[in-house]
């Protein structure tokens, strides 16, 4: 099968969850014998040139000029250079199916180009971008969760102004609202024209339904953990190497940003006895101002800023933990780190928000607490610190984790089904 993935950015320059998922999936599909390519934009001039082969995957990078927030937003409404580059790639690759991983910064007209070729495409909802311009359902003006556009898109206009660093009074937002409404009118046909739309959890489907997307068109396909037996063994070895009387080791892995709620975790650990330790793994350069706030707030002697965690170092780092904490304040769309922690045999303590109740069973393989409630989180952690058997019980209850290979097999079944359906339509 000939498969083309479309994504807004790609490793090694970008290593977020969507990018890593796309690369892992493309490389697995190539290893399985499929002809696989990736199309992504990059800063700079020029159309997509010859592809660069990476682990059997042909990667086309098309220049889109200078990349700023405004240009990324406006590219949705039209970007002739990227559209022309994509036409070239479609002609060269002749895909049987196109997988739209993310279209941020890419022209919406690409869906028309795919359809004009009679090619089915599927969408994976890695975030909330089809209904929310900042993709997170988190307001830019006060950083609180949002349910999506209001009837006149005034709240979206206010968000757009705040994202641009401008004051966001209601009166000014009304002037921007029509542009935000046009964006959503432009994107909705892409969603409607997909042969399949995939979400990782029921919450993601529910959130899109609340924004007016038909829930019946969204199928649930959980993401798989990209973990090998050797990596699981590394995690177990790290756990066995720990001293029996060692400290209660709490961990966080992810972005050091306010919506991730890391300050809530720091405040919770500040209340714990000294034999608790907290390892914070995340890139301090992504939001230096926020990281400075965290360092200033960290009064507990056991709080350590470990920096960015390389992929192979993840597994021994997870294995050394008693629990992983995800104190998120926004609607995460999945949280692959939950699956990775479970694969390493580590219970997860998470905010009761968004997808977290979908992936963490409260009192079974982890615990849930009210988002933003540092006191409640501290009480849970203290209880586990004083009763290690509770951690052992949760570890014993961790369910089998879907692996990326299993996810890839289910995804291939979907590809074949939509390809067969497209063939039947063409025959008629």
Q: What is the CATH number of the domain that holds 75?
A: 3.40.50.2000
- What pLDDT is stored for residue 134 in this prediction? 86
Residues 346 and 416 in one domain: no
Contacts of 154 (CB under 8 A, 6+ apart): 170, 173, 174, 177
Residues 154 and 286 in one domain: no
Reduced to 3 states (helix: H, G, I; strand: E, B; else coil), residue 259 is helix
How deeply is 171 buried, as exposed, middle or buried, from its count of CB atoms within 10 A (0-12, 13-18, 19+)?
exposed
- The residues that bridge with 138 in the sheet, in sequence order, are 145
Residues 251 and 211 in one domain: no
Residues 333 and 372 in one domain: yes
Residues 10 and 41 in one domain: yes
For 312-348, write each residue's pLDDT tens digit. Answer: 899 999 999 999 999 999 898 887 889 999 999 999 9
Which pTM was predicted?
0.87
- What pLDDT is stored for residue 168 in this prediction? 64
Mean pLDDT of the residues in the chain: 91
Residues 338 and 193 in one domain: no
**295 pLDDT higher than 70:** yes
**118 pLDDT higher than 90:** yes
Q: Which domain holds residue 30?
A: 2-225+404-427
Strands 323-326 and 248-253: parallel
Residues 95 and 175 in one domain: yes
Length of the chain: 428
Residues 119 and 196 in one domain: yes
For 14-47, write each residue's pLDDT tens digit. Answer: 777 889 899 999 999 999 999 999 999 886 555 5
- What pLDDT is stored for residue 174 in this prediction? 87
In degrees and rounded to multiples of 5, residue 172 shows phi and psi of -70, -35
**111 pLDDT higher than 80:** yes
Residues 131 and 186 in one domain: yes
Which residue's structure tokens are 């982890």? 366
Count of domains for the chain? 2
- What average pLDDT does range 298-304 have in this prediction? 97
């Amino acid at each position: 099968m000939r498969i083309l993935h479309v994504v807004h950015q790609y490793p090694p320059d970008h290593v977020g969850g969507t990018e890593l998922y796309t690369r892992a999936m493309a490389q697995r599909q190539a290893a399985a014998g499929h002809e696989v390519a990736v199309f992504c934009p990059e800063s700079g001039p020029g159309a997509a040139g010859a592809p660069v082969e990476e682990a059997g995957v042909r990667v086309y990078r098309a220049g889109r000029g200078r990349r700023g927030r405004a240009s990324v937003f406006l590219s949705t409404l039209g970007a002739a250079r990227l559209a022309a580059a994509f036409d070239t790639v479609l002609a060269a690759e002749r895909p049987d199916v196109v997988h739209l991983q993310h279209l941020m910064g890419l022209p919406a007209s690409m869906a028309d180009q795919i359809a004009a070729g009679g090619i089915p495409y599927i969408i994976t909802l890695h975030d909330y971008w089809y209904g929310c311009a900042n993709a997170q359902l988190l307001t830019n003006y006060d950083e609180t969760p949002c349910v999506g556009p209001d009837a006149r898109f005034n709240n979206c206009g206010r968000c757009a102004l705040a994202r641009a660093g401008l004051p966001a009074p209601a009166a000014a937002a009304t002037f921007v609202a029509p542009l935000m409404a046009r964006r959503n009118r432009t994107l909705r046909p892409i969603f409607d024209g997909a042969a399949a739309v995939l979400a990782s959890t029921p919450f993601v489907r529910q959130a899109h339904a609340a924004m007016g997307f038909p829930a019946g068109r969204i199928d649930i396909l959980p993401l798989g953990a990209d973990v090998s037996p050797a990596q699981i063994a590394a995690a177990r070895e790290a756990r066995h190497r720990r001293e029996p009387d060692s400290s209660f080791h709490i961990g966080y892995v992810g972005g050091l940003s306010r919506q991730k709620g890391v300050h809530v975790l720091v405040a919770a650990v500040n209340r714990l006895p000294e034999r608790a330790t907290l390892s914070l793994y995340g890139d301090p350069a992504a939001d230096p101002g926020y990281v400075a706030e965290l360092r200033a707030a960290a009064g507990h002697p056991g709080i350590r800023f470990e920096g960015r965690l390389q992929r192979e170092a993840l597994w021994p780092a997870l294995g050394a933990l008693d629990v992983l904490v995800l104190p998120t304040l926004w609607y995460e769309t999945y949280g692959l780190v939950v699956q990775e922690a479970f694969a390493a045999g580590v219970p997860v303590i998470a905010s009761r928000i968004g997808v977290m109740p979908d992936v963490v069973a409260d009192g079974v393989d982890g615990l849930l607490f009210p988002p933003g409630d540092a006191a409640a989180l501290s009480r849970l952690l203290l209880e586990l610190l004083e009763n290690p058997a509770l951690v052992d019980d949760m570890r014993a209850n961790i369910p089998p984790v879907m692996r990326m290979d299993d996810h890839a097999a289910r995804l291939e079944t979907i590809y074949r089904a939509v390809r067969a359906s497209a063939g039947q339509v063409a025959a008629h």
